[in-house]
Amino acid sequence: MTGYWELGFGYWHGNAGDTGNRSLESVDFRPVLRWQYHDPSIDVPAFYVEFGTGPALVSATEIENRRLSTAFQFGSHIGVGMCFGPHGRFEVAYRLMHYSNADIKRPNDGMTFNVLEVAGRF
């Protein structure tokens, strides 16, 4: 079990046509817990499962027909992935992400979406 801190920036684009806000930006900060299986004695990909949750801010409280009600949100994700390459420098992952204000104010439509991530450490 390991952990890390994640600072994320996002741009959400919708297809609202003439109704509702068509895009917004987000910034979020969250601790992430990761369970990873890796045998350091052999150089093979390492698979992992992770979970993270923390505060987020969005630039608008509506996108398409969804109303978030507050700029303050909580961003959470659960993901699976694989590290590979020299010292596990590269990753490919799938995340299910959710943003919600935890009913601080209603309506709280929230947003859930899928993310495919490709990353590399320098």
Q: What is the rounded average pLDDT of the residues 9-32?
A: 82
Q: In the prediction, which pLDDT does 67 show? A: 86
Average pLDDT over residues 107-114: 90
What does pTM read for this prediction?
Answer: 0.82
Residue 90 burial by Cβ neighbours in a 10 Å radius (0-12, 13-18, 19+) = middle
Inform me whether the pLDDT recorded for 48 exceeds 90: yes
> For residue 26, what is the enclosing H or E element?
strand 23-37
Check whether 37 has a pLDDT greater than 60.
Answer: yes
Structure tokens at 44: 């093979």
Least confident of 48-57, 60-69, 72-81: 60-69
